[in-house]
Amino acid sequence: MDIEKVRSYFPSLTTRIQGHPLVYLDNTATSQTPSRVVDDMVDSYYHRKANVHRGVHTLSQLATDRQEQTRRHVRDYINARSETEVIFTRGTTEGINLVAASYGTRFKEGDEIILTVMEHHSNIVPWQLLAKRVGAKIKVVDIDERGVLDIEQYKKLFTSRTVFASFCHVSNVLGTINPVKEMADIAHSYGVPVLVDGAQASPHLKIDVQETGADFYVFSSHKMYGPTGIGILYGREKLLRDMPPYQGGGEMIEHVSFQGTTFASLPFKFEAGTPDFVGIAAFDKALFFIEELGLENIERHEMELLEYAANEIKRTMPSIRIIGEAPHKSSVLSFLAGKSHPYDVGMLLDGLGIAVRTGHHCAMPLMERLGIPGTVRASFAIYNTREEVDIFLNGLRRILPMLE
C-alpha cells in the first residue's frame, strides 16, 4: 500500500508544530479526517442543507436519502440484520447512556452488572448512576500483569442476580483485544445480555455483531476518519422494540396530543430532535475510505508500526516501561519513562512536533489497579509511517536525559 498516497488525502498532516512537521500519534483519541469527508460536509452545507424526514421538497428528500444511505451502509459494515437496528447518536458515550437509561429501566435493587477494570469512564459512570438510582451492584473483572482479562473470574462473577454485562472490545490504554464472542457466549448461557464498547475496535478490526453475539454494540465516527459528534448504537431489534425512548421530542413520535403520545417505529424512536444529518452523510464517505483500503491492510500496517516501536524501545531504552503487553492487542503503545510524570514527557515531545496523549485516558480505575498516575500513549493509524516512528523514538532518546 502506498502510504504517501494515503497521507495525501489528509491535509492536516502537513501542519507544522513549533517549527517541526506534525507527527500525529494520538489516533486512539481521535483520527484525522480525509479531504473527501470534509469536502462532502462543505458541499452539503452549501448545496444540500435541509432538515431530514417529512419534507416534501427536493433538498429535504435528498438529505433524508443520504442519511438513510449511511444507516444502510453501517448495517452492512457491522453485519446487522436490519437498518432498524442502527441508531444514530452523538458518540459512543451517548450510546452507552442510552442503553443504561432505557434498557436499565427494568433493573431493580440487588441486581448485578458486570464490568471490567479496563473500561473507559463512559462504560463505568452510566452504570454507576443507574446502580445508585435503583440499588443495583457493580462487579468488576480483573486483569493479569500483561493486561489480559481474567476470563475465569469473569465466568465466576455470574449469579442468578446478574442482569447485564458491559465491556470494551479493545482497551484504550492497554490495547488489549478482549475475547468478546466468548464473553458474550458466557453471558448468554446465563440469559444475560451484553453491550460491547467498540470505540477502539471499529477503526482497526472487522466488526460483525452477529458473529460476536453482541446484544448492543457502540462506536464513534471521529475515531474512524469521520466527523465528530456522530455515533452508532447497534441493538438487537427485539430488545430495542421493548425499550422505552431515551429522549422525547420531534422525530421520535408518531402522534402527540395532551392526552398522550405514541412513538415512532425503530430506529426513529431513539432519535429525538434534528440529527447532524450533514455529519451522518459524510460518515458514509469515511466508511468507504476504510473499505477501499481494507481493514486487514490497515491492521497489518498499524501492527507493524507498533511492533517496530515497542521492540526499539525495549532494545535501546531500558528506562521506559511499556504498559500493556497482551499477546492479542491493537496498535496502542502506553508507557512510562523512568520516574517522570507522563505530562512532562508529552510536553517535551510536543516541542518536537510529536503529538501523544498523556494522563489517565479516562480510565482512572485501571490506573489505580496498575498503581500508576497515568501513561504516555502513542497510537497509530493507517497514515503513520516508519519514518514518523523513528522521529518519535529519536524524540524519546533526546528528552530522556532531561527527565533524569
What domains lie within the chain, and their CATH numbers? 3-34+294-399 (3.90.1150.10), 38-291 (3.40.640.10)
Cβ-proximal residues to 343 (8 Å cutoff; 6+ apart), any chain? 358, 359, 374
**Is-catalytic flag, 168?**
no
Residue 404 confidence (pLDDT): 75
In total, the chain counts a number of residues equal to: 404
pLDDT at 142: 98
Whether this prediction's pTM lies above 0.85 is answered by: yes
**CA–CA separation, 111 vs 162, rounded Å?**
6
Q: How far is CA 216 from CA 165, 232, 399, in A?
A: 10, 10, 44
Task: Enter the DSSP assignment of 390.
Answer: H
- CA nearest neighbour of 227 among 362, 366, 323, 91: 91
Task: List per-residue pLDDT tens for the chain, 404 residues long.
Answer: 899 999 999 999 999 999 999 999 999 999 999 999 999 999 999 998 999 987 789 999 999 999 999 999 999 999 999 999 999 999 999 999 999 999 999 999 999 999 999 999 999 999 999 999 999 999 999 999 999 999 999 999 999 999 999 999 999 999 999 999 999 999 999 999 999 999 999 999 999 999 999 999 999 999 999 999 999 999 999 999 999 999 999 888 888 889 988 898 999 999 999 999 999 999 999 999 999 999 999 999 999 999 999 999 999 999 999 999 999 999 999 999 999 999 999 999 999 999 999 999 999 999 999 999 999 999 999 999 999 999 999 999 999 999 87
Residue type present at position 211: E
Write down the number of H helices and E strands in the chain.
Answer: 14, 17
Among 362, 367, 400, 403, the active-site one is 362
- pLDDT at 53 (0 to 100): 85
Asked whether 234 and 78 are in contact (CB, 8 A), the reply is yes
